[in-house]
Structure 1
Amino acid sequence: MTKLIIQIPCYNEEETLGATLAALPRQLPGIDCIEWLVIDDGSRDRTVAVAKASGVHHIVRLPHNQGLARAFMAGLEAALRAGADIIVNTDADNQYCAEDIPALIQPILQGEVDIVIGARPIWQTKHFSPIKKLLQNLGSWVVRLASNTDIPDAPSGFRAYSRRAALQINVFNRYTYTLETIIQAGQKGIAMTSVPIRTNYVARPSRLVKSIPSYVQRSILTIFRIFMIYQPMRFFVLLGSIPFGLGFLLGTRWLIFLLMGAERTRIPSLILAAILILIGVQIWIFGLVADLMAANRKLVEDIQQRMRRLDLDPPQPSPQVVSKGREARPTGQRRRMRSLYTEDDPLDTPFND
């Protein structure tokens, strides 16, 4: 049975949540069960009451406002615990057209990819300002560069995850999950694609983008941080190449003047060149250390993913192999028989019989 859970992070969304829930599908081809999940990120209005009145199946309540990224991860965890095979994330302001959910989940149902991002017609969206359109496309270009993917609309919150992909997602940033999850998935080799979607007119201003300068600043900091986490060597090599290159040029200039027999020794230029070269080399060393730490982080993430699978996935019964002419013993009996011939050490006992 294939279960789809549609999750909606909310913060003071009583005015629009009802219309958003009313537009959600009840049945879809290829899906046996559809459930709704609302994440209340410390709302002070009637968001939870509206969700209950609309028949929401699951409500996750955070004690106080923790930000969109934390609410998204809380919903993802709850959806996995509820047995979701596919998780669709949408916004509570009804800006995304719920009729596009079948197209959004189709590539996952067909087994082609594990993440599908809904691509909005940004340039054709009338209620987007020219500056917002430019920033949306610029941010998507930077994310494509960082993630080695071809996702055209990285900030889109209308997206679908397979269970396998959701188990691998970790969001470190508290501001937004949209950019980080794409870069993270690209670095982990999770298959992604995008499908065109439609949008509805939203009258109220975005709560995430309070001002264009703050949005640009937060987005740049998020991208830089993700670069340092997932591509530390590349980041620090590029960063260290700037002072190293300047120092190399100054040193070359000093050497040329020296060979030409210039009267002035230009010692300050030589000292500055040496300092810049040393700074560049130091930054490269930081990159090497960060790269070694990244290898350790990957091991920790693999362990975390394995633990999440053990915690969230239902146990699968292992088939008992019966040899010819022998009767299969119960697991406990086989374990007792083995203890007669081995030391009583848990490390000598396999995890699975």
Structure 2
Amino acid sequence: MKLIIQIPCYNEADTLSLALAELPRKVQGFKKVEWLVIDDGSTDETIKIAKKCGVDHIVRHKKNQGLARAFMTGLQTCIEKGADVIVNTDADNQYNAKDIPSLTKPIVSGESDIVIGSRPITTIEHFSIAKKILQKIGSKVVQIASGTDIPDAPSGFRALSRNAARQIMVFNEYTYTLEVIIQAGQKNMAITSVPIRVNEDLRPSRLVKSIPSYIKKSIVTIARIFIVYRPFKFFMTIGSVFFISGLMVALRYLYYYLSNEGAGHVQSLILSSVLIGMGFQTILIAFVADIIAANRRLLEEIRGKM
């Protein structure tokens, strides 16, 4: 079996050599262990350092396309290079590479299709309180949307089987971490997590440029997760709120009308009509969105079999 360890990179010249120095060349269960660097349009010496450190495969984006695109490019390249198992890690050396055998073991034994490395979030000193809270909220949302019990959904340290990698298609340009788990859950893949260790913080997170920005992007990501992967429930809930609110306002108007006081409450009748109309249209959107989601799942299944 062949294992390929992929590292998405964007201007990682300062830390890449440290991360590569920790990567193993031998892992139990594999005859070959190769390294892949995905250069996401770096303007520094990332590629030069990768070559100097003996990276087996390098693929480059002509311009920066974001972490999620780099991750997907890596998966596709690993499949083309004949990988049986793929491990994804970061170029800032935040994950302890000695835990790679722990990630791959459940896949080699046939127990899992995807394994997520679970960090000790509460004890990581360089994580702010806000980030720790958002990490927990994000993981909880993913658990609800995917039907899994992964405790550290935002962790980028993960292993995928060849079959799982072929079925994954990330749409989010900000990050791939949450979406991969949700897709795995919806496709009934065997997904689990194992505890991992982390190293000292070498540089500020590229995804967390500031707490307000991180909160904003996290909220948008979480909202989009429900819209894309639970569209019927999302739109039906909103539509029902509008529709029921409209009915309540209509009943209020009907009460005053039967009490011969309806003339002074025409505004309630107008508001009721607007709310019921909005609710009805949103409920219709729920059905249309559900059909689109079903079509997307069919396309993903077809892609996985190609």
TM-score (structure 2 length as normaliser): 0.96
Q: Does 1:100 align with 2:99?
A: yes
Contact 2:239 2:282 in 1 (8 A): yes
**Is 1:72 aligned to 2:71, yes or no?**
yes
User: Structure 1 residue 263: deviation in Å?
Assistant: 6.4
Unaligned runs of 5+ residues in structure 1 are 308-353
Question: Is it true that 1:236 corresponds to 2:197 in the alignment?
Answer: no
Structure 1 vs Structure 2: percent identity of aligned residues? Answer: 60
Aligned to 1:324: none
RMSD: 1.4
SS at match of 2:39: strand
- Determine the C-alpha separation between the residues in 2 that align with 1:263 and 1:135: 49
Preserved contact between residue 2 and residue 83 of structure 2 (Cα < 8 Å)? yes
Distance in structure 2 (CA, Å) of the matches to 1:35 and 1:183: 28
Q: Which has the higher contact order (CA 8 A, sep 6+)?
A: 2
Aligned length: 306
| Equivalent position of 1:85 in the other structure | 84
Structure 2 stretches lacking a partner, 5+ long:
none
The 3-state SS of whatever aligns with 2:82 is: coil
Q: Describe the SS at the equivalent of 1:199.
A: coil
SS of match in other structure, 2:111: coil
State the one-letter code of the partner of 1:291.
Answer: D
Query: 1:233–1:288: 8 Å Cα contact kept in structure 2?
Result: yes
Greater shift in the superposed pair: 78-87 or 131-140: 131-140
- Partner of residue 113, structure 1: 112
What letter is aligned with 1:101?
A: I
Residue type of the alignment partner of 1:46: E
How far, CA to CA, are the matches of 1:183 and 1:248 in structure 2? 36
Match of 1:320 in 2: none
* 1:74-130 deviation line (CA, Å, top 9, x unaligned): 111000001101100000000000011111111111111101111111111111111
Q: Indicate the residue corresponding to 2:156 in structure 1.
A: 157
Look up the SS of the partner of 2:192 in the other structure: strand
Matched to 2:72, the amino acid is M
Query: What is the one-letter code of the residue matched to 2:130?
Result: I
AA matched with 2:243: F
Is the contact made by 2:145 and 2:229 (CA closer than 8 Å) also made in structure 1? Answer: no
Once the two structures are superposed, residues 244-285 of structure 1 have per-residue CA deviations (whole angstroms, 9 ceiling, x without a partner) of 122122122223333445465512112211210110110010
Match of 1:288 in 2: 287
Q: Identify if the C-alpha distance between structure 1 residues 243 and 88 changes in structure 2 by more than 3 Å, giving closer, same or farther.
A: same
The aligned counterpart of 1:186 is 185
CA contact (8 A) 1:38 1:56 kept: yes
Q: Please tell me whether the aligned partners of residues 180 and 222 of structure 1 are also in contact (alpha carbons under 8 angstroms).
A: no
Give 1:335's aligned residue.
none
Secondary structure (helix, strand or coil) at the match of 1:35 reads strand
Aligned residue in 1 for 2:139: 140
Q: Which moved more, 1:192-201 or 1:288-297?
A: 288-297
Q: Any idea what SS the aligned residue of 2:25 has?
A: coil
TM superposition score normalised by structure 1: 0.83
